[in-house]
Copies of this chain bind each other. A is one copy, B any other.
Amino acid sequence: MENKRIGKSTVEFKTRPLIAASSSIVGPLEGQGPLGNTFDIVLDDNLFGEKSWEKAERKMLLESVKLVISKVGLTEKDIDYHLAGDLLNQTISANFAARDLQIPFLGLYGACSTMAESMILGGMLVDGGYARRVVASVSSHYDTAERQYRFPTPFGTQRRMTAQRTVTGAGAVMLCNAGEGPVITHATVGKVVDLGIKDPSNMGAAMAPAAADTIVAHFKDTGRTQNDYNLIISGDLAQVGKNLTQELVAKEGYDISQKYDDCGMLIYYEHQDAHAGGSGCACSAVVFCGHLIEEIKKGNLQRILFIGTGALLSPTSSLQGDSIPGIAHAVAIEDAKGVRKEWHI
């Protein structure tokens, strides 16, 4: 057995699994945002022709998977595993989409870090020889998340300025052991970190310590710094969490200020009234599957560190007095210099 571990929390993918395709679907507000033209599908409304927001979210996840499979000219039968998760109780968006897809399915829960988590595990499945092709996908929806975590949107409850807006959308990537596309080279799996934040309207602050912990772990394990990346981008820390992360990383002796950004800061215009910025599983997913993949393919980004960030919030644990723990997983992705066209398995 070959050791693929580097340092305490990082693995190096020797075969460099490929992201052969990606797909993204977003709601109307996200479509009107600065990245609007990078998404495959922009919905006309938040219901996507369904009778409930939950069914709309499930349909987004399902369609994002179908789309990413069709982009490489394959069908569901050609995919070895589907890894997916979402924010809803019992991850029903992922489970019901999986029911319609009929691909061997592994369900994940990493809150808003799930896109990165699914890419890490999917990368291991492909790199380890357990799969030729894995689809990793996630979804979130503003109205389903508000109803479940805070207040149903029709209440019109006023939201605090530190609050973030859950992105309505779904993203999927196709990971393959051969083909063309950007490659995954390293993955750093995070620990659950909790500095005692209890305010569910300030999730960025709750997640920042975990994001900083994982970024620092990645640097220590790999010997890399911000100089090795064109972009270091977290999932959905938004304004408050982004600044805090940068500070916490600096305290550990690493400056990321020249390269650091956050998906939650990119997805909405300020005039769209999303308060601190975007959040949700789909925030990092659609920014990655749309904008970031496009920039890598254009040659504008040669190497990025993508950090999925999750607030492990539960209304039940909050009511019982618990704080909000966070988790973050990092994936290093780079432009593929070579092209491998032969399927290895």
A152 to chain B, nearest CB (A): 12
CB atoms of B129 and A9 under 8 A apart: no
Of A52, A94, A313, A314, which is in contact with the most chain B CB atoms at under 10 Å from its CB?
A314
Please measure, in the bound complex, the distance between the C-alpha atom of A189 and the C-alpha atom of B98, giving whole angstroms.
Answer: 13
A327 at the interface (CB under 8 A from B): yes
| A9 contacts B104, C-beta separation under 8 Å | yes
A52, A91, A121, A317 interface centre (most CB from chain B within 10 Å): A317
Partner of A189, one of B105, B193, B344: B105
> Once the chains bind, are B110 and A107 in contact (CB under 8 Å)?
yes
Q: Chain B residues with Cβ under 8 A from A88's Cβ? A: 314, 316
Of the candidates B15, B117, B128, the one whose C-beta lies within 8 Å of that of A107 is B117
Partner of A99, one of B1, B15, B55, B192: B192
Number of copies: 2
Task: Determine if B314 and A89 form an interchain contact, defined as CB atoms under 8 angstroms apart.
Answer: yes
Please indicate the chain B residues that have their CB under 8 angstroms from the CB of A129 in the complex: 1-5, 128
Number of chain A residues whose Cβ lies closer than 8 Å to a Cβ of chain B: 66
Instruction: Tell me, rounded to whole Å, the shortest Cβ–Cβ distance linking A30 to chain B.
Output: 23
Q: Which of B9, B102, B106, B316 contacts A117 (CB 8 A)?
A: B106
Which listed residue (B107, B124, B325) contacts A109, Cβ 8 A? B107
Interface residues in A66-121 (C-beta closer than 8 Å to B): 80-81, 85, 88-92, 94-96, 98-99, 102-111, 117, 120-121
Which of A55, A106, A110, A192 has the most CB atoms of chain B within a 10 A radius of its CB?
A192
Which residues on the B side are within 8 Å of A322 (C-beta)? 96
CB distance from A111 to the nearest CB of B (A): 7
Task: Take A1-B344, A99-B325, A345-B5 as given contacts and tell me if A312 and B125 are in contact as well, using a CB distance cutoff of 8 Å.
Answer: no
| Residue from A3, A111, A312, A315 having most chain B Cβ neighbours under 10 A | A312
- Residue contact A313 to B109, C-beta cutoff 8 Å: no
A255 touches B (CB below 8 Å) = no
Q: In the complex, what residues of B have CB within 8 A of residue A105's CB?
A: 189-192, 327
User: Residue on B with the closest CB to A4?
Assistant: B129
Interface string of A313-335 (1 = CB under 8 A from B): 11111001010010100000000
Q: Given A107-B108, A107-B117, A320-B54, are A102 and B191 also a contact pair (CB < 8 Å)? A: yes
Report whether A89 and B315 are in contact in the complex, using a CB–CB cutoff of 8 Å: yes
A123-163: contact bitstring with B at CB < 8 Å (1 yes, 0 no)? 01101111110000000000000000000000000000000
A194 part of interface (Cβ distance < 8 Å): yes
A8, A54, A125, A129: residue with the most chain B Cβ atoms closer than 10 Å: A129
Task: Find chain B residues with CB under 8 A from A18 CB.
Answer: none
Q: B99 and A317: CB pair below 8 A?
A: no
* Interface pairs (5), CB distance under 8 Å: A90-B313, A90-B317, A95-B192, A107-B110, A124-B125
| 11 further A-B pairs in the complex, CB-CB below 8 A; given A5-B130, A107-B117, A121-B121 | A2-B129, A4-B129, A55-B320, A81-B189, A90-B109, A90-B111, A94-B109, A98-B192, A99-B193, A99-B325, A128-B130
